[in-house]
């Protein structure tokens, strides 16, 4: 079992090793190299601060990662919630991790996985399944790629500012998940190894003049794994302690699964394979899923092998197999579905409903795969979505999803029975709601985002900015 609710998960049992990563890595060398980088960056920073304040633009353009920036400071009246300053972390904390993609995982290279600016390989096999005009918007995106995706978007964000003094929020582009992923899967590493990057990042950030403005309350970070991977309480347990490190206390974290009791954890959608290049792509896709002929009532996609008989997913699987004709099972054992199969998408496209039990943790990427395909999700735990992605999903759960209490299923309630009773009209309304929300749960392909349409990234960052504004207004502090 991986991460369970708020209790730290048991150590090191890969749920699906092929989906994850880790690596061997000289422990001392990067540390020394990084110390040098920090010293140099710090020195340059001081020098620039001393010589001329206005040089901040040159500093920002100093790393090769910086793209051309179009009028970031151009008096954009839309940035009413404020602007974001992006820290220039030493490459050790982000780009170097990506450059070493061949050693992010003990089982093989992740270079393909994180190619195309983190979106992964183009999903050519989907030609014929998706409309031709949107084929180029589909990728085999890894579920843990959000750190890279957010970083690229942030560098081109219309409300980014290069003037740190005027910023409302400060973004720390540290790839926390990639950094720890390397150390998760073998016993060769110590707890310290797993925390090193995070420790060093915090030391770096705390030395920045803007940290002191508000003890970190206006700082935020993307962490591309579930929150439980960063909440280790005992050395022998799973994951890093990153979120528990004292310096992290006030930093807002954008995570694919949050701890619902922690104000600073924000749940953001898992990346799916759909990355529209334009608003026209979105409209084409919405119309496509709206008009699909859905031949099965519901479906269940997941790794079907290895379920214990009384495992909840085992029950669902039984029910699904037992509802022949009404339910479709997609077996995603191993890496069958992560590596270029169109099976999942086809089954979501062909079903009115998709079952979304909790898996190793409360949430699953499958929730978003399902909704992107215009299928209505069926939840069994409130924490699977309702208390996770509040900024991104409709406020009324019953408007877009079905909730069946897990206890009733354990007591033998028929899922088919529940779903069959929902009238065609109601199903259509729910699907329409799901379709309406598709833009908010996908990550657009262009680094600038989509003109005139907010995607998950826009919603997340505006949410962070608004929160900081509200805190200022109310003098909101612990
Ligand atoms: C971990 O250690 C074992 C033996 O101690 C070694 O065989 C293995 O290659 C090591 N794995 C990594 C990823 O360094
Ligand atoms: C977090 O914020 C509170 C309230 O502003 C402050 O007292 C505390 O020192 C901050 N913690 C850290 C680690 O900066
Ligand atoms: C499957 O269906 C059969 C016959 O309809 C029934 O006897 C059996 O209890 C069902 N099994 C499950 C797990 O629902
Ligand atoms: C994934 O797909 C690539 C390219 O199609 C192939 O080379 C690789 O062997 C596949 N990996 C697995 C685990 O199936
Ligand atoms: C879970 O959500 C459902 C539907 O929104 C609600 O009726 C129920 O009270 C919630 N259960 C718990 C334990 O919060």
pLDDT tens per residue across span 144-157: 999 999 999 999 99
335 lines ligand 4 (CB under 6 A): yes
Mapping DSSP to helix (H, G, I), strand (E, B) and coil, where does residue 379 land? strand
What pLDDT is recorded for position 57? Answer: 33
> Nearest C-alpha to atom 8 of ligand 4 is from which residue?
339
Which of ligand 1's atoms lies nearest the C-alpha of 106? 13
> Which helix (H) or strand (E) is 440 found in, with range?
helix 438-441
**Residue closest by Cα to atom 10 of ligand 4:** 339
Contact assessment for residue 303 and residue 329, using Cβ atoms and an 8 Å cutoff = no
SS3 378: strand
Residue of 249, 251, 263, 475 to test ligand 2 pocket, by largest number of atoms within 8 Å of CB: 249
Backbone torsions φ then ψ of 223, nearest 5 degrees: -120, 115
Q: How far is the CA of 382 from the centre of ligand 5 (A)?
A: 6
Sign of the C-alpha dihedral computed for residues 302, 186, 113 and 124 taken in this order: negative
CA distances from residue 160 to 81, 82, 167, 276 in whole angstroms, order as listed: 12, 9, 8, 22
pLDDT of residue 310: 63
Kindly report the protein residue whose alpha carbon is nearest to atom 8 of ligand 1: 188
Going by pLDDT thresholds of 50, 70 and 90, the confidence category of residue 41 is very low
- Confidence check: pLDDT of 38 > 80: no
Q: Answer yes or no: is pLDDT of 2 > 60.
A: no
Residue with tokens 């030391």: 203
Is residue 165 classed exposed, middle or buried when 0-12, 13-18 and 19+ CB atoms within 10 A define those classes? Answer: exposed
Give residue 109's pLDDT.
87
The sign of the CA dihedral 384, 386, 390, 395 is positive
* φ, ψ dihedrals at 376, nearest 5°: -90, 125
Whole-prediction pTM:
0.82
Nearest Cα residue to atom 12 of ligand 5: 382
Q: What is the mean pLDDT of residues 207-211?
A: 92
- Residue 398 pLDDT exceeds 70: yes
pLDDT of residue 60: 34
* Mean of all residue pLDDT scores within the chain: 83
CA 440–ligand 3 middle distance (angstroms): 40
d(CA 406, CA 411) in angstroms, rounded, equals 9
Weakest mean pLDDT among 37-51, 121-135, 372-386, 426-440:
37-51
The residue ranking higher by pLDDT, 17 or 196, is 196
pLDDT of residue 390: 95
pLDDT in tens, 230-256: 999 888 888 999 999 999 999 999 999
- Name the pLDDT band for 185 (thresholds 50, 70, 90): confident
In the numeric block, which tokens belong to residue 264?
């600073």
Lowest mean pLDDT among 47-51, 125-129, 232-236, 384-388: 47-51
* Euclidean distance between CA atoms 331 and 158, whole angstroms: 42
Task: With a cut of 60, say whether residue 37 has pLDDT above it.
Answer: no
Q: Which ligand is nearest to the CA of 323?
A: 3
pLDDT at 264 over 80: yes
**For residue 339, what pLDDT is reported?**
61
CA of 250 to the centre of ligand 2 (A): 6
- 225 pLDDT band, cuts 50/70/90, is very high
Positive/negative CA dihedral, 226, 227, 228, 231: positive
Q: H-type helices in 156-253, by residue range?
A: 176-181, 191-206
DSSP 222: E
What number is the average pLDDT over the span 327-337? 78
Nearest residue (CA) to ligand 5, atom 1:
382
3-class DSSP assignment, residue 367: helix
**Exposed, middle or buried by CB within 10 Å (0-12, 13-18, 19+), for 425?**
exposed
Distance (Å) from CA 469 to ligand 2 centroid? 18
Q: State mean pLDDT over 340-363.
A: 90
Which position has the higher pLDDT, 404 or 309? 404
Ligand nearest to the CA of 476: 2
Say which residue, 29 or 344, is predicted with more confidence.
344
Stronger pLDDT, 323 or 56, i.e. the higher one: 323
DSSP 3-state of 383: helix
260 lines ligand 5 (CB under 6 A): no
State pLDDT tens for residues 278-310: 999 999 999 999 999 999 999 998 876 666 666
Residue 403 Cβ contacting ligand 5 at under 6 Å: yes
- For the record, the structure tokens of 439 come out as 């833009």
Q: Give the pLDDT mean for 458-462.
A: 97
């Amino acid at each position: 079992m991986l991460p369970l609710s708020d209790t730290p998960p048991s150590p090191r049992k890969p749920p699906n090793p092929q989906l994850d990563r880790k690596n061997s890595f000289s422990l001392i060398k990067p540390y020394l190299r990084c110390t040098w980088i920090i010293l140099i960056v710090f020195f340059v920073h001081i020098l620039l601060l001393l010589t001329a304040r206005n040089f901040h633009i040159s500093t920002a353009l100093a790393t090769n990662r910086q793209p051309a920036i179009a009028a970031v400071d151009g008096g954009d009246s839309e940035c009413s919630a404020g602007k974001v300053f992006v820290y220039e972390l030493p490459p050790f904390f982000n780009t170097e991790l990506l450059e070493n993609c061949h050693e992010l995982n003990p089982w093989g290279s992740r270079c393909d996985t994180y190619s195309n600016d983190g979106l992964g390989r183009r999903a050519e096999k989907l030609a014929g399944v998706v409309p031709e005009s949107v084929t180029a918007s589909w990728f085999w995106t890894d579920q843990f790629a959000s750190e890279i995706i957010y970083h690229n978007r942030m560098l081109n964000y219309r409300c980014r500012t290069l003037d740190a003094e005027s910023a409302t929020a400060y973004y720390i582009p540290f790839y926390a998940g990639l950094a720890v992923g390397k150390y998760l899967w073998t016993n060769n590493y110590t707890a310290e190894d797993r925390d090193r990057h995070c420790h060093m990042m915090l030391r770096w950030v705390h030395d920045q003049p803007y940290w002191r403005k508000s003890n970190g309350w206006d700082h935020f970070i993307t962490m591309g794994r579930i929150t439980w991977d960063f909440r280790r309480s005992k050395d022998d347990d799973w994951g890093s302690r990153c979120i528990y490190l004292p310096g992290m206390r006030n930093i807002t974290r954008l995570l694919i699964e949050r701890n619902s009791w922690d104000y600073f954890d924000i749940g953001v959608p898992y990346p799916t394979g759909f990355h529209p290049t334009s608003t026209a792509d979105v409209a084409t896709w919405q119309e496509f899923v709206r008009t699909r002929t859905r031949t099965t009532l519901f479906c269940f996609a997941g790794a079907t092998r290895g379920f214990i008989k009384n495992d909840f997913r085992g029950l669902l699987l039984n029910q699904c197999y037992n509802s022949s004709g009404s339910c479709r099972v997609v077996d995603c054992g191993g890496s069958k579905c992560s590596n270029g199969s169109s099976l999942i998408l086809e089954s979501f496209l062909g079903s009115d409903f998709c079952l979304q039990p909790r898996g190793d943790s409360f949430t699953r990427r499958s929730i978003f795969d399902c909704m992107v395909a215009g299928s209505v999700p069926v939840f069994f735990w409130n924490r699977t979505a309702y208390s996770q992605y509040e900024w991104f999903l409709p406020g009324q759960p019953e408007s877009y999803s079905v909730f069946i209490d897990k206890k009733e299923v354990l007591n033998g309630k028929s899922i088919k029975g529940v779903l069959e009773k929902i009238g065609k009209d109601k199903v259509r309304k729910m699907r329409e709601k799901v379709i309406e929300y598709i833009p908010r749960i996908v990550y657009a392909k262009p680094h600038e985002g989509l003109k005139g349409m907010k995607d998950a990234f826009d919603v997340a960052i505006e949410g962070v900015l608004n929160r900081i504004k509200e805190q200022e207004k109310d003098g909101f502090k612990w």
